Structure 1
Amino acid sequence: MSISLWKRDGFEVSTDPSRLDKAFILRELAKTYWAAESSPENLWLSISNSRIYGLYGPDGAQIGFARAVTDLARFAWLGDVFICDAHKRRGLGKWLVEVIIGDPALATVARWMLATDDAHELYTRFGFERVSADDAPNLMVMRRPLS
C-alpha cells in the first residue's frame, strides 16, 4: 500500500506506519469507550492490518489517529478516530476525516461504515447517516468475547 502525506497549517497526516507512536496510540485508545476492553496486543494487531492515518503536530509529535479497515476497492470501516485532548477544538478531527474520505487510495470505495456513540454531528458533515433496523434489514453482527 502506498504511503501518502497531507499538510495543513504546520500539521501533517501520514499513512506511514513507521511514524506511528505505538505507546501514544495505545494509551489514548485505552481511554476510549470503544477500545478500553481490548488488550494492547489485539489493538495493535488490528491497527497493523488497516490503512492507518497518523496526525502529527508542528513539532512532529503524534497528536491523533484513525484507521480504515478496507479492501481498498469497495468497502471501508472507519474506526479509532481520536485527537488528543490538548489539540481538540481546532478542526483537526474534521480535517482528519476529510483526508481519509478523500484519500486517493480509497477513491473507489463506495460503502463506508462506522459506529459512534457521540460524534454523529461530525460524521453527518461527510455524508454518513444513521442506520435504523428498517434501513438495514439484512445487516447482521456476531459478537464474541474479547480474548
Structure 2
Amino acid sequence: MIRFTTDKSELDLALIHGFLSQHSTWARGISRPLVERAIEHSLCFGGFVEQSQVAFARVVSDHATFAYLADVFVLPAYRGRGFGKLITQAALSHPELQGLRRFMLATSSAHGLYAQFGFASPARPESIMERYFPTLYQDSPPA
C-alpha cells in the first residue's frame, strides 16, 4: 500500500536529492540547494510505504493554463508494483491541476507509462522550442 502526500514537510529531501543527483538520467549532479529551490516552487507529491518515501514527482504550474510534470521516480526496490502509475495519477488528478490547456513532460524511457494518461508527442512540434543545457549540473559550481 502506498500513500501520497503533497505536504512538503513530509518529503525526505536527502532521499530526493540523492536519487536525482546520483541515479537519475536527467538531473545527475544537481546540487541540493537547487533541488530544494525546485521543490519550494513546485507542487510536490511524495509516495510513502509505511514511513519511508519510495516515490516522488513534482509539477511546475500556474494552476490555470499550464503544467509541467518533472522529476518522477520510484526507488528501484519498489518498481514493478504500479507506483509509477499511481503517482502520475495522483499528480494529474490533483484539484489545482484540473482544466489546464497544456500539461507537458519530458521522458527518454517512459513513453509507454505516460501514453496511458494521454500524453503524446506534440501535435505541432514546429511550435515548440526550448533552451536546453544537458550538462549544466556537471559544468556549474553548486548553487
Task: Return the TM-score normalized by structure 2.
Answer: 0.88
Q: Does 1:47 align with 2:24?
A: no
**Counterpart code for 2:33:** E
What SS does the aligned partner of 2:57 have?
A: strand
Aligned to 1:68: 59
Equivalents in 1 of 2:78, 2:128: separation in Å?
A: 36
Instruction: Using the aligned pairs only, state the percent identity.
Output: 36
Per-residue deviation, residues 3-62 of structure 1 (Å, max 9, x unmatched)? xxxxxxx321100000000101111112101010322211221121100000000x2211
Per-residue deviation, residues 66-122 of structure 1 (Å, max 9, x unmatched)? 000000111000000000011100001101101111111111222000000000000
Aligned to 1:15: 6
Q: How does 1:1-147 map to 2 (within 5 A)?
A: 10-30=1-21, 31-57=23-49, 59-131=50-122, 135-143=124-132, 145-146=136-137, 147=140
Higher relative contact order (CA 8 A, sep 6+): 2
Question: Hey, which of these two has a bigger chunk of helix by percent?
Answer: 2
Equivalents in 2 of 1:29, 1:69: separation in Å?
A: 17
CA RMSD of aligned residues (A): 1.4
Unpaired runs of 5+ residues, structure 1, are 1-9
- What is the CA distance between 1:136 and its match in structure 2? 2.0
Aligned to 1:7: none
Task: Return the TM-score normalized by structure 1.
Answer: 0.86
Aligned to 1:5: none
Deviating beyond 6 angstroms after TM superposition, the runs of 4 or more aligned structure 1 residues are: none
Equivalents in 2 of 1:124, 1:103: separation in Å?
A: 19
